[in-house]
Structure 1
Amino acid sequence: MFSFLKSHTELSQPLAPPTSRHHLVRATAAEVTPLRLGPTQLDFEDLVEFERVENQYFTLGVQFWGAIAIRPSNPIFVPSSGCLVLMPSTFQAGIQAQFCRPVAIVQALVSGTRPVTLTALDSNGVVLERVSIGSYRYLWADGQAELAPLPQQPLQLQTPGIASILFESDAPFTLDNFFFSQL
């Protein structure tokens, strides 16, 4: 179902980027109204390699900070489908997303050599829930020419009132097939 904006200026006024790693800017529904509501899945294939990801999905109800679209050159980060994934744009900064309206479900496929954590926050910045996936170690075997790709693991939170989320790790990671829904 689509919701139409009252003026074009509402669409052209993106939210300000967060001021710190764990603080996302709050906005009311009157300030930002997405064109599309309901379950949304992003595969990032519509992006250009090395494109900074921020307001591209604003009309779908989400904005990102700290993300860049890449085609992984390291063979251990090969996506299971498509070519492009998101990766943090700076080391140890994580990927943040803010929803135009609170959601109840957030899910993505992530790959990382160290644990990756997904944290959900309410509109006041209070942590609602946190979940992590483990890490994978690779040991070189004699005669092994290349490493096997890391598995893309689902990372999911389901709790009402999610206004923003943060994916973070202390090592590089990739994010693909990002899904969110009000129910």
Structure 2
Amino acid sequence: MVRWVVVVKQATLQTDKVPKFEDSTFARNQFDVQKQIIASVKRSQSEENINASTIDSHTCICLNLEDLKCFEVVEHQYEHWGVIFHNSLAIQPSNPAFPTNSGLTVLMGAPKSGFLEVTFLRGVNQVNACVTSSQRLVLSAYDRDRQLLAQSILPSANLANSDSALPPNTLLSVTTQNIHSVTFCAFDGQFTLNEFRFCI
């Protein structure tokens, strides 16, 4: 009998703590809340009355990237869920160094390499994504006035089939009140993200 063990690594930087990289094992259900919505580009009939302004607190929205076409510029596709992307492209990676965590489609920063920004139409309290990067990557959260609230740092590259101590698709998360935008920055490196999720 073969047993599979799934290990999730998480990098976290909280605003009320001394900045540090935590290399601990976390279960994914750490982020479970009372409600989670899988958000599609096209709303089904059951989702017609759901939008960013009607979603209750303690709800997380996980974006279904599989609705996107390969090489599609991603900007307003999820706006009805309260989120807008900037400098973002949907791809299905052919490079084995950038494996997907689930599904076939991921997001990458393009046309400007190594940078991706996300704006929320309503303040959120948590943002997380699984990231694979060719070098150090910083996830930064900002308030409505573009003041830095929190950061989460992937301290080094985590490409597949490399000697990195971090696995591909490492979970990065920021948690604080009233996040209105986040940026992913790998300083001209390449990165992919999937399982993008935000909580209200």
Provide TM-score, normalisation by structure 2: 0.66
Contact persistence 2:143–2:179 (CA under 8 A): yes
Cross-structure match for 1:154 = 171
2:185 matched to 1:172?
A: no
Alignment RMSD, CA only? 2.1
Q: Residue type of the partner of 1:34? A: A
User: Which residue of the other structure, out of 103, 128, 135, is the alignment partner of 1:114?
Assistant: 135
Unaligned runs of 5+ residues in structure 2 are 1-34, 36-50
Q: Is the 8 A contact 1:122 1:128 kept in 2?
A: yes
Q: Which has the larger radius of gyration?
A: 1
Question: Which residue matches 1:61?
Answer: 82
SS in 1 for 2:65: coil
Q: Secondary structure at the match of 1:75?
A: coil
What amino acid does structure 1 have at the position aligned with 2:161? Answer: A
* Contact map agreement 1:91 1:172 (CA 8 A) in 2: no
Structure 1 residue 91: Cα displacement: 3.8
Asked if structure 2 preserves the Cα contact closer than 8 Å seen for 1:121 and 1:163, the reply is yes
Question: Alpha-carbon deviation of 1:137?
Answer: 7.1
1:1-183 residue pairs with structure 2 within 5 A? 34=52, 37=55, 38-92=59-113, 94-136=115-157, 148=161, 151-170=168-187, 171-182=189-200
Q: Distance in 2 between matches of 1:103 and 1:58?
A: 14
Q: Which runs of 5+ in 1 are unaligned?
A: 2-32, 139-146
Q: State the TM-score, normalized to the length of structure 1.
A: 0.72
- What is the match of residue 21 of structure 1? none
Paired positions, count: 143
Structure 2 Cα separation of the partners of residues 36 and 71 of structure 1: 32
Taking every aligned residue pair, what percent have the same amino acid on both sides?
33
Look up the equivalent residue of 1:106 and give its one-letter code.
V
Asked if the contact 2:134–2:157 (Cα under 8 Å) also holds between the matched residues in 1, the reply is yes
* Structure 1 consecutive aligned stretches of length 4 or more whose deviation exceeds 4 Å: none
Secondary structure of the residue that 2:107 maps to in structure 1?
strand
Are the structure 2 counterparts of residues 132 and 91 from structure 1 closer, same or farther at C-alpha, using a change threshold of 3 Å? same
Counterparts in 2 of 1:107 and 1:46: CA distance versus 1, 3 Å: same
Secondary structure at the counterpart of residue 69 of structure 1: strand
